[in-house]
Amino acid sequence: QLYADVLHLTGRLSEAERLYSELPDYLPARYGLSWLTWNRGDTQTAQTSLTALLDDASKRSTLNAIEWTALGNAARLLGAHDPQWFTVAVDYYEAALTQDANAVPARLALGELLLEKYNNQEAQSVFQEALQRDPLNAQALLGLARSQHFDYAPEAQETVQRSLEINPNLVAARVFLAQLYLESEQYDSAINEANQALRINPLSLPALSLRAAAYFLSDEEARFEADVQAVLAHNPRYAELYNTLAEIAARNRLYQEAAGFARQAIELDPLSWRGHGLLGLNQLRLGQIEQGIASLERAFEGDPYNVWIKNTLDLTDSFADYQLTADGPFIFMLHRDESALLLPYLQPLAQEAYEYYAKQYGYRAKTPIRVEFYPRSADFSVRTAGVAGIGLLGVSFGPVIGMDSPTAREQGSFNWGSTFWHELAHTFHLGLSAHRVPRWFSEGLAVYEERQAKPSWGGDPSPDFLAAYRAGKLPPVSAMNSAFVRPSYPQQIIHAYYLASLVFDYLDEQEQINQVPAMLQAFARGESVGQMLQSVLQVDETEFDAGFDAYIRQRFALPLSAIGQLGRIMEQPGTLEDLVLRAQWQPQRYELQLQAGLQLLQDNDETRAEVFLRRAQALFPEYAGDDSAYWWLAQLYMRQEQQAAAIEQLQRMTAINGEHLPSHLALARLLRQQGDFTQASEVLERALYITPFDRQIHQ
């Protein structure tokens, strides 16, 4: 049996089949034989043999953990066409674990099934329990890596690499690592991993499918077709080929192509519920709402245990509570409780943004563009990723934009106007690049465009950002995508958004910002970042990286030298006077000046507080966060009833930071007290992009 399994896993299927056949009474061997039959595309024969296997097993008085696991695997395979078998599979795996709590294969199979059905919370616990019993189990590490990937955790790649250190011949781990490389647009690395998997098992259909996806994304049509034909030659009903292509295409924002691949999966196997689900999800992303719902309902009828599909159908049921409004190039979908108040602000902003981008890029995005605002953040998360809690504010699929409504988050926690402006930028970037623009490029450009709309929108530099840049924690432009898809520390993706936006400030300074449309069109032709830089800007990646780094270091020379190692305002040991002395001795240390000023302010020593806060502000005038010198100086001057000085600080702060509601409200109040109702009204208008449902602001 073990030798037959090894032959099976290395692609020597005829030999494996012969050995399995020599063990007609051994349940795991009979399962192995049925699996080989299924994997050749003869699912009817396989179903008959699997059903017979389960019937025969039910007549046995005792079964060991290995046999229970084989029965679980058999039921799970039958579940591909009849989902009622999935609950039977869970029962069999649990029976194996009851028989032997250390039966790691049963635990791993159970975890894989739970993860397949999007029950990642339980799946992760199962994989961790397996690792507690067998810390060096490569398959358990692979399961954990997949679970981490489900949660968008950057540790997934490190975990699967640990798996391969233990077992370099684990084909499934190499296929998964290749998938991670594809998602980060490292196509050559993905192909290399798939090739290594195929050297171990030349008939691995998942490896061939993954390599086909890599060739598809690399525009290598001949090699793509060769791998497709190689898969279908072995199993002409292998719908997972096209399901894999659909999933990879969607993860790379190629939603039209993803829908096409899903249709091909269904053509191969009309009972591919995953194919129906992938088709429906991508139809919804393309704005084909009725067709998408129909596809998802078909998927759910076939597999009611897929949480993503169930959640999405529940969400679409709630669409009856929303109001659709067609206006120019847009169809707005707003909750009926919010539509009347939000539309008067959203409509003119959307029209302005569309015309701005059309002029900026010389391209009019295909219409209508469906804009969906969700008053529950969990609903927006489901629309985006099938589960709640992904943490994003907005998403653009191209023809569809979805985002949190202002009521979905704590009041004043984000600027919905800048978020919409950002997401519409993606719609134009995707359209002009044929959905081939790298994520870092599109995100950075969208943040840059926010600042072009209003200087207070878009990202701003922070002490943490500059400390990370100075410490070499942020990648060069040539490797920027890694920070978006595999961040190496918790704040890296936030820092990367701002850093990527500075690339376009750099292009602007170099008088090359007008080349952005040509750069997007280069991506549409399939060019990489390096090829695009060469063809459009006539510069190689190394030269561009060096020029950009020099620009950053020159632009932020003063704060880079003033930021301490951690770049955060931290509690220092000692008394207040000790802190004041340190700040006096090191007048070029931003954190010391700010912390000394803040603590003196808290101690009501306003005269000395002003000195240190002013010094901090001079060292880092670009920083206008809620813990910046602008805010504390404004508080100080308001205490002293120096209204003009407070107004100056708040005006400077809100000119940089368009998301800080308290500073906007304080500024408007002071301006009204000064009798400047025009400016006060303008400030409150800006505040409505942060909190449009605040009655007092409207009054």
Q: How far is CA 152 from CA 272, 307, 387, 489, in A?
A: 26, 17, 12, 13
Of 137 and 83, which is predicted with more confidence? 137
Average pLDDT for 476-489: 89
**Does the residue 648 lie in any domain?**
yes
What does the pLDDT read at residue 567? Answer: 40
- Residue 597 shares a structural domain with residue 646: yes
pLDDT of 374 reads 95
* Same domain flag for 693 and 643: yes
**Domain presence at residue 476:** yes
Both tokens of residue 124? 């992760």
Give the C-alpha separation, 189 to 362, whole Å.
35
579 and 673 belong to one structural domain: yes
pLDDT above 70 as % of the chain: 98
Residue 614: pLDDT band by 50, 70, 90 thresholds? Answer: very high
CA distances from 450 to 16, 87, 409, 457, 510 (A): 60, 50, 20, 5, 20
Contact 213, 182 (CB under 8 A): yes
Amino acid at 272: S
Phi and psi at 646, nearest 5°, equal: -65, -45
Contact 302, 83 (CB under 8 A): yes
pLDDT > 90? residue 217:
yes
Shared domain for 632 and 527, answered yes or no, is no
Residues 494-511 as b/e (b if ≥16 CB within 10 A, e otherwise) read bbbbbbbbbbbbbbeeee
Is a pLDDT exceeding 90 seen at residue 138?
yes
Tell which residue, 650, 640, 637, 653, has the closest CA to residue 676.
650
The structure tokens listed for 394 are 């907005």
pLDDT over 90 at 3, yes or no: no
Neighbours of 480 (CB within 10 A): 23
Whether 576 and 521 share a structural domain: no
The tens digit of pLDDT for each residue in 333-369 reads: 999 999 999 999 999 999 999 999 999 999 999 999 9
The domain boundary, picked from 530, 563, 596, lies at 563
Q: Which domain holds residue 65?
A: 1-100
SS3 content of the chain, % helix, strand, coil (to 5): 70, 5, 25
Per DSSP bridges, beta strands 369-374 and 400-404 are: parallel
**Domain co-membership, 440 together with 535:** yes
pLDDT digits (tens, 9 = 90+) for 103-124: 999 999 999 999 998 889 999 9
pLDDT in tens, 148-203: 999 888 899 999 999 999 999 999 999 999 999 998 888 999 999 999 999 999 99
One domain, residues 544 and 466: yes
Number of domains composing the chain: 3
Q: How far apart are CA 416 and CA 546, in angstroms?
A: 35
What is d(CA 410, CA 393) in angstroms, rounded to the nearest whole number?
12
CATH of the domain at 96: 1.25.40
**Average pLDDT score, the chain:** 94
Same domain, 585 and 693: yes
Phi, psi for 333 (deg, rounded to 5)? -115, 100
Interval 417-469: pLDDT, tens? 999 999 999 999 999 999 999 999 999 999 999 999 999 999 899 999 999 99
Query: pLDDT digits over 86-96, tens only?
Result: 999 999 999 99
Residue 84 lies in a domain: yes
**481, 485, 487, 488: CA torsion to nearest 10:** -90
Please give the structure tokens belonging to residue 572. 């220092």
d(CA 321, CA 336): 6
Q: Please give the DSSP secondary-structure letter assigned to residue 368.
A: P
- Confirm whether 255 is domain-assigned: no
Q: What confidence category does residue 566 fall into, taking pLDDT thresholds of 50, 70 and 90?
A: very low
Q: Which of 356, 557, 597 is nearest to 457 (CA)?
A: 356
**277: its two tokens:** 């689900």
Q: pLDDT for 506-542, tens place per residue?
A: 999 999 999 999 999 999 999 999 999 999 999 999 9
| SS3 at position 436 | coil
Of 563, 592, 620, the last residue of a domain is 563
Our separate counts of H helices and E strands in the chain read 38, 5
* Integer Cα distance of 118 and 84 in angstroms: 17
Examine residue 507 and state whether it is found in any structural domain, yes or no.
yes
Question: Taking the model in full, what pTM does it have?
Answer: 0.91
Burial of 378 (0-12, 13-18, 19+ CB in 10 A): middle
**pLDDT tens-place string over residues 206-216:** 999 999 999 99
**How wide is the angle at C-alpha 497 spanned by C-alphas 685 and 508, nearest 5°?**
80
- 559 and 585 housed in the same domain: no
Cβ neighbours around 426 below 10 Å, total: 23
SS (H, E, C) 151-162: CCCCHHHHHHHH
Alpha carbon distance 244, 258 (integer Å): 9
pLDDT at 4: 83
Residue 180 identity: L
486 pLDDT band (50/70/90 cuts)? confident
Question: Residue 61's pLDDT is what?
Answer: 86
**Distance of alpha carbon 481 from alpha carbon 555, whole angstroms:** 23
Evaluate whether residue 381 is within a structural domain.
Answer: no
Token pair belonging to 542: 């190394």
Query: How confident is the model over 228-280, as pLDDT tens digits?
Result: 999 999 999 999 999 999 999 999 999 999 999 999 999 999 999 999 999 99
Same structural domain for residues 630 and 685?
Answer: yes
- Percentage of the chain beyond pLDDT 90 is 85
Judge if 558 and 639 occupy the same domain.
Answer: no
Burial of 478 (0-12, 13-18, 19+ CB in 10 A): middle
Residue 185 within any structural domain of the chain = no
Specify the DSSP element, H or E, that contains 75: helix 65-78
Residues 559, 437, single domain; the answer is: yes
Residue labelled with tokens 């409200």: 665
Residue 640 CA to residue 652 CA, distance in Å, equals 19
What amino acid is encoded at 287 in this protein? G
**pLDDT attached to residue 564:** 72
- Domain termination site, one of 516, 531, 563: 563
| Amino acid, res. 361 | Y
Report if residue 285 sits inside a domain.
Answer: no
Extract the tokens encoding 554: 């020159």
Helix boundaries (H) for 270-338: 273-285, 289-302, 307-317
Confidence grade of residue 572 (pLDDT, cut at 50, 70, 90): low
Beta-ladder partners of 402: 372, 395
Pull the structure tokens for residue 616.
């901090």
Predicted pLDDT of residue 184: 83
- pLDDT greater than 80 at residue 390: no
Give the tens place of pLDDT for each residue, 15-39.
988 998 888 889 999 999 999 999 9
pLDDT class of 569 with cuts at 50, 70, 90:
very low
Alpha carbon separation from 294 to 31, 217, 324 (Å, rounded) = 35, 29, 20
Burial class (CB in 10 A: 0-12, 13-18, 19+), 59: exposed
